[in-house]
Chain A
Amino acid sequence: MNRRDFLKKTCIVGLGLSIPGTVDSLVGSLFASEYADIGVARATIPEETTHAAVTKAAIDAIGGMRRFISKGDIVVVKPNIGWDGTPELASNTNPEVVAGVVNLCFDAGAKKVKIFDNPCVDPRRSYQQSGIADAASAAGAEVSFMDDRKFKDVAIGGRFLKEWPLYTDVLEADKVINIPIAKVHNSAILTLGMKNWMGIMGGWRGRVHQNLDQGIADISEFMKPALIVLDGIRILTAHGPQGGDPQYVKTMNTVIAGTDQVAVDAYGAETLFYIKGSKLRYVRIGHETGLGTMDLSRVVIKKVSV
C-alpha cells in the first residue's frame, strides 16, 4: 500500500479503537448526569433533625429510593448488628437510620423488607441492645435471627474465597441494601460497606482473617447491592470494631449513600476518618478489579445540609 493509504488506515483503525472509550464516556455522561453517584447529608442543627431525615436526604440526593426499589420488591436490608452495644457506643448501625431506610423502602412500594445479621456475639443481646430489632419492627420490617439451616454453599469465585456458605434469604431477595456503620477496625483498618458483607456469611468466619482484605474484596464482588447507606451519625474512632467507651465515639451526624461499593468506602474513609481510600487494601483490590472506583475525582458527589 502507499503512504497515504497507510496513514488513512491507521487513522481509521486508531479512531475505531478509541471509539468504545469515546462512545462510553458519551453514553455515560448522557445517562449519568441525571443522578449523582454519592449523596452526603449532614445535619446542621442536630437537635432539631432526626437521623431518619438525614438518611432520607442522602438517598434523595442520588435520586430517591424509588430509583432503587420497585413496587412489589422483596428487599433485604443488611445493617451491622454485629455486637452487643447500645447506639451511643457506635458498634452497630444506628437504629433510626435502619428504620428510616425501612420506611423509605415501603414508601417506594416494597412488598417485604427483611432485616437480619449474623452477630459475633449473642444475637439476642445484639438485636435488643442495638435498638435495631425494635426500631425496624416498628417500621414494619420482618426482623429475624439468622437460621442455621438457611445457609447454602455458594461458589463466589473469589481469589481467596472460592466457596462460602451464604444466607439464602439474601440470595433470593429482589434487592439488597447494605447499611453499614463507619468504624475503625484493628485488622481491616476501617470497616465500612464492603466489610459489612461478612454478616451474611456463615461458617467459621475467623478463617477469613488469614487474608482479610482479599476476602472482603471477594465477597463484595459477589454481592450486588442496589444501594449502600453508610451510617456516619456516630462513628467509632478507636478500639474498633467494638469500642466500648463513649470517648471512642465521634458524632458526625452524616449519612452517605451511593451505588458504587468501592467509591462509598473510599469517600467514607476520607471524609469521616481522613484516611485515603487507597490505604485500604480491599478498596485498592476492588478498584483494580473494576468493582468500582476509588478515584473520587471521577465520582459525582452531591452534598446536602439538612
Chain B
Amino acid sequence: MDHKRGPMKKHTVRTIRRLSQGIFLLLFLFLFIQTESKGLDELGYPVRIFLDFDPLIALSTLLSAHAIVAGFLFSLAVVVLTALLGRVFCGWICPLGTLHDAVGFFSRRKPAPDHRDWHRLKYYILFFLLASSLFTAQLAGIMDPISLLIRSLSLSVYPLVNYIARAFFDTVYVMDMPVITDGSEWVYGILKRAVLSFEQPYFLQGIVVGLLFFLILGLDLYERRFWCKHLCPLGALLGICSRYALLKRSVSEGCTSCGVCRRVCPSGAVIDKNGTWRGSECLYCMDCDDLCPEGAIGFGWKGSGEGVPIDLPRRSVLVSLMAGVAAVPLLRIVPRSRGDWFHPALIRPPGALKETEFLRRCIRCGECMKVCITNGLQPTLLEAGLEGIWTPRLVPKIGYCEFRCTLCGQVCPTGAIQELTAREKERIKIGLAVIDTGRCLPYAYGIPCLVCEEMCPTPEKAIWLEEVKVRPREGEEIILKRPKVDAERCVGCGICEARCPVRSQPAIYVITANESRSEGNRLLLNP
C-alpha cells in the first residue's frame, strides 16, 4: 500500500469524485425531467431506476408487503458495492448527497461542530423504520433520501423553477420589445422543450414540502453533510453493510497527529487527532488522503484494522425498535382503519391496490404525481390517515384522469399502483360521478348545458340524457335534456367534474363509491 503521494496526486481523487457525483446528479435530473408525457403510451425512459437501486426501499417493501418487486433486484448491486467498498454510494453517487456537498460548499469554514454522538440518530431512525415496516407500516419512503428528493423536486422545487421561468419569459413577452422579446421567446422555446414542464404544475402542500426540503439542505450551512451524518436512514443501512468493507482507510507511521484530517472530514468519520476512523461513517470522499500534509493516509485493500465499530448503546437500539413497533397500532386506532370506512375524496390512481395493500407499498416518492398528465394526482394530508400522508389521490378539480393514459402505473417503483395496459385501465373504476341537481344548470336553472356528457370518455357513455318538458319562470314550455350518470359504466375519471361550468363547486363530482379495488365500497350489488 503506497502511502507516498507526490504533489501531482493532490485533489485527483476529489476531481474524479466530483465528476462521478456530477454525472449521477445530471442523470438523475435528466430522468426526472423525462418523467412527463410526450403524448405516447409508453414513457420510454427508465425514470424510476434510482429507486430500483435503493436498498432501504427494497428492504422496507419486502418487510411490509411481503413481496419482492422485480425492480429491486438492482438494489443488491448497491449492497454488494457497499459491502466491498464502503459507503461510496453516499460519497460518489447519491444525488441528494451531491446537493448537500454543493450547499455545504457555502458553510462556515471553521472546524465542524463536534457532535460526537449525533451520528447515532440515523441508526435509531433506521431501526424505527425497519421495525414499523416489519409490522406493515411503510414509512421508510418519507425519510429515504432518493424518495425524499424526488418528492421534494416534484411537489415543490420543479414547480418553483417553472414558475420563475414562466414569470420571467411572460413578462418579456408582454413587454413586446423589438429584438429582445424575439430572443427571449427563442430561448424560452428551447427551455420548454428541454427542461421546463409542459404546463405549470401546482401541488397541494407544495409550500410545506418545499420548506422541509430547504431546511434539510439549509442544515448543510450549519454543518456539512448534516443529513448524511445524523439523519439519513439509507446512510445508516449502508453504514451497517460497510462494516467489513474491503476498501479501508489506513494511517502510516508518518502521521504527526496534526489533526488536518479530522478538520477536513465532512462525515465525522475521523474522530481524533490520531486519525482513528469510524468506517461506517466514512463517505469515502478521500479528502483526508488528498490533504494530509505528510501523505500518511491511504485507502486500499490491506488496511491496518477494521476501524471503530458502530457504537450504539443496546438500550437505545431497543427503544427505537420498540418505538417502531408501537407506532404501527398507534397509527391505526383511527376510524380510517375500519374496513367499512371510506373517504369520499380518497380517489386512488387506477391500478392502485386495495387500501391496506396500497399503504404497505406506497413509498410516497411522488413519481406518479410528477408524471400525471393532467396534474391531477396530489399528495394526501389526512384523507388516508396520518399513516398515509403524502400518498397520491386524484383531485379532479385540479386534474382529471386521462382515459387512455397509463403512466402512473409505469413509474410506480413498488407496485402500489399496478402497471396496466390501456385496455385494462379503461375498465377500472376509481370512483363514481354524482350530480348535485341543486346547481346543475338544466336541473336548477332550466339552462341547457351537457358539457359533462360530451366530455365523458367512456365509449358507451356513462352519462346519458333524459329529455323533460320544463316550464321556465318566464316564457313557454321548453324541452330540456338533463344529464344522468350510469353507475355501471362510470369509471370515475373526473373529467366531468373538471369541466363542469359551475367552477367553484362543480355540479357533477366524483366520490370514491363503486371503486373497483375496494370490495366494501361497491355501490351496485350486481353490476
- Take A84-B404, A125-B404, A206-B501 as given contacts and tell me if A120 and B448 are in contact as well, using a CB distance cutoff of 8 Å: no
- Take A206-B501, A239-B461 as given contacts and tell me if A124 and B373 are in contact as well, using a CB distance cutoff of 8 Å: yes
> In the complex, what's the smallest C-beta–C-beta distance from B101 to chain A, in angstroms?
36
> In the complex, what's the smallest C-beta–C-beta distance from B162 to chain A, in angstroms?
14
B448–A212 CB distance below 8 A? yes
A248–B459 CB distance below 8 A? yes
> In the complex, what's the smallest C-beta–C-beta distance from A217 to chain B, in angstroms?
15
**Bound complex: CA A248 to CA B461 (Å):** 12
Smallest Cβ-Cβ distance to B459: which chain A residue: A244
B459 contact from A128, A185, A239, Cβ within 8 A? A239
**Bound complex: CA A149 to CA B229 (Å):** 48
A204–B501 CB distance below 8 A? yes
B39–A128 CB distance below 8 A? yes
A187 contact from B441, B453, B495, B501, Cβ within 8 A? B453
Residues of chain B within 8 A of A243, CB atoms compared? 459
Smallest Cβ-Cβ distance to B38: which chain A residue: A124
Interface status of A210 (Cβ within 8 A of chain B): yes
**Bound complex: CA A33 to CA B456 (Å):** 47
A128–B441 CB distance below 8 A? no
- Bitwise, B454-480 to A at CB < 8 A (1) or not (0) is 111111110001000000000000000
Residues of chain A within 8 A of B404, CB atoms compared? 84, 125, 129
Interface status of A2 (Cβ within 8 A of chain B): no
**Interface members, chain B 17-40 (any A CB < 8 Å):** 37-40
**Interface members, chain A 200-235 (any B CB < 8 Å):** 204, 206-207, 209-212
**Interface members, chain A 110-130 (any B CB < 8 Å):** 120-122, 124-129
> In the complex, what's the smallest C-beta–C-beta distance from B377 to chain A, in angstroms?
14
**Interface members, chain A 223-266 (any B CB < 8 Å):** 239, 241-245, 248
A124–B450 CB distance below 8 A? no
**Interface members, chain A 99-153 (any B CB < 8 Å):** 120-122, 124-129, 133, 149
- Bitwise, A169-187 to B at CB < 8 A (1) or not (0) is 0000000000000000111
A124–B198 CB distance below 8 A? yes
**Bound complex: CA A242 to CA B462 (Å):** 13
> In the complex, what's the smallest C-beta–C-beta distance from A207 to chain B, in angstroms?
6
A241–B448 CB distance below 8 A? no
**Bound complex: CA A125 to CA B198 (Å):** 12
> In the complex, what's the smallest C-beta–C-beta distance from A82 to chain B, in angstroms?
10
A125–B173 CB distance below 8 A? no
Residues of chain B within 8 A of A210, CB atoms compared? 441, 447-449
> In the complex, what's the smallest C-beta–C-beta distance from A227 to chain B, in angstroms?
27
**Bound complex: CA A206 to CA B453 (Å):** 11
> In the complex, what's the smallest C-beta–C-beta distance from A288 to chain B, in angstroms?
21
A242–B457 CB distance below 8 A? yes
**Bound complex: CA A239 to CA B457 (Å):** 10
Main secondary structure of the interface of B (DSSP, over half): loop
Smallest Cβ-Cβ distance to B198: which chain A residue: A124
Residues of chain B within 8 A of A212, CB atoms compared? 448
**Bound complex: CA A232 to CA B12 (Å):** 69
- Take A206-B501, A210-B447, A210-B449 as given contacts and tell me if A124 and B39 are in contact as well, using a CB distance cutoff of 8 Å: yes
A211–B374 CB distance below 8 A? no
- Take A122-B402, A210-B441 as given contacts and tell me if A187 and B454 are in contact as well, using a CB distance cutoff of 8 Å: yes
A128–B495 CB distance below 8 A? no
Smallest Cβ-Cβ distance to A129: which chain B residue: B39
A120–B460 CB distance below 8 A? no
Residues of chain A within 8 A of B386, CB atoms compared? none
Residues of chain B within 8 A of A128, CB atoms compared? 38-40
> In the complex, what's the smallest C-beta–C-beta distance from B406 to chain A, in angstroms?
11
**Bound complex: CA A242 to CA B373 (Å):** 19
Residues of chain B within 8 A of A209, CB atoms compared? 448-451, 454, 501
**Bound complex: CA A99 to CA B402 (Å):** 27
> In the complex, what's the smallest C-beta–C-beta distance from B28 to chain A, in angstroms?
24
Residues of chain B within 8 A of A133, CB atoms compared? 39
Smallest Cβ-Cβ distance to A120: which chain B residue: B455
> In the complex, what's the smallest C-beta–C-beta distance from A242 to chain B, in angstroms?
6
B450 contact from A127, A186, A242, Cβ within 8 A? A186
B495–A206 CB distance below 8 A? no
B495–A121 CB distance below 8 A? yes
**Bound complex: CA A133 to CA B405 (Å):** 18
B453 contact from A84, A122, A186, A245, Cβ within 8 A? A186
Interface status of B203 (Cβ within 8 A of chain A): no
B373–A206 CB distance below 8 A? no
**Bound complex: CA A122 to CA B36 (Å):** 12
Residues of chain B within 8 A of A129, CB atoms compared? 39, 404
- Take A186-B454, A207-B501 as given contacts and tell me if A122 and B459 are in contact as well, using a CB distance cutoff of 8 Å: no
Interface status of B499 (Cβ within 8 A of chain A): yes
**Bound complex: CA A254 to CA B493 (Å):** 35
Residues of chain A within 8 A of B299, CB atoms compared? none
**Bound complex: CA A206 to CA B405 (Å):** 23
- Take A212-B448, A239-B459 as given contacts and tell me if A122 and B37 are in contact as well, using a CB distance cutoff of 8 Å: yes
- Bitwise, B502-514 to A at CB < 8 A (1) or not (0) is 0100000000000
Residues of chain A within 8 A of B460, CB atoms compared? 239, 245
**Bound complex: CA A287 to CA B202 (Å):** 46
B402–A127 CB distance below 8 A? no
B402–A125 CB distance below 8 A? yes
Smallest Cβ-Cβ distance to B502: which chain A residue: A206
Residues of chain A within 8 A of B451, CB atoms compared? 206, 209
**Bound complex: CA A124 to CA B39 (Å):** 4
Residues of chain B within 8 A of A204, CB atoms compared? 501, 503
B170–A122 CB distance below 8 A? no
Smallest Cβ-Cβ distance to B500: which chain A residue: A206
**Interface members, chain B 393-450 (any A CB < 8 Å):** 402-405, 441, 447-450
Residues of chain B within 8 A of A207, CB atoms compared? 501
Residues of chain A within 8 A of B174, CB atoms compared? 149
**Bound complex: CA A128 to CA B500 (Å):** 26
> In the complex, what's the smallest C-beta–C-beta distance from B159 to chain A, in angstroms?
17
> In the complex, what's the smallest C-beta–C-beta distance from A83 to chain B, in angstroms?
8
Interface centre among A122, A126, A211 (most CB of B within 10 A): A122
Smallest Cβ-Cβ distance to A244: which chain B residue: B459
**Bound complex: CA A122 to CA B451 (Å):** 17
Smallest Cβ-Cβ distance to A130: which chain B residue: B39
A125–B37 CB distance below 8 A? yes
Smallest Cβ-Cβ distance to B457: which chain A residue: A242
**Bound complex: CA A224 to CA B455 (Å):** 28
- Take A84-B403, A128-B40 as given contacts and tell me if A206 and B448 are in contact as well, using a CB distance cutoff of 8 Å: no
B458–A244 CB distance below 8 A? yes
**Bound complex: CA A120 to CA B456 (Å):** 11
**Bound complex: CA A203 to CA B449 (Å):** 16
> In the complex, what's the smallest C-beta–C-beta distance from B447 to chain A, in angstroms?
5
23 interchain pairs (CB within 8 A)? Answer: A84-B404, A84-B457, A120-B499, A121-B495, A122-B37, A124-B198, A124-B373, A128-B40, A129-B39, A149-B173, A149-B174, A186-B450, A186-B453, A186-B454, A187-B448, A187-B453, A204-B501, A206-B499, A209-B451, A209-B501, A211-B448, A241-B454, A242-B457
A-B contact sample (19 more), CB < 8 A, given A124-B38, A242-B456: A84-B402, A122-B37, A122-B39, A122-B374, A122-B402, A122-B405, A124-B37, A124-B373, A125-B37, A125-B39, A128-B39, A149-B174, A206-B501, A207-B501, A209-B448, A241-B454, A244-B457, A244-B458, A244-B459
Please give the residue numbers on chain A whose beta carbons come within 8 Å of chain B beta carbons, in ascending order. 84, 120-122, 124-129, 133, 149, 185-187, 204, 206-207, 209-212, 239, 241-245, 248
Query: Which 6 A-B pairs rank lowest in CB-CB distance, beginning with the nearest?
Result: A128-B39, A244-B459, A124-B39, A206-B451, A245-B459, A206-B501
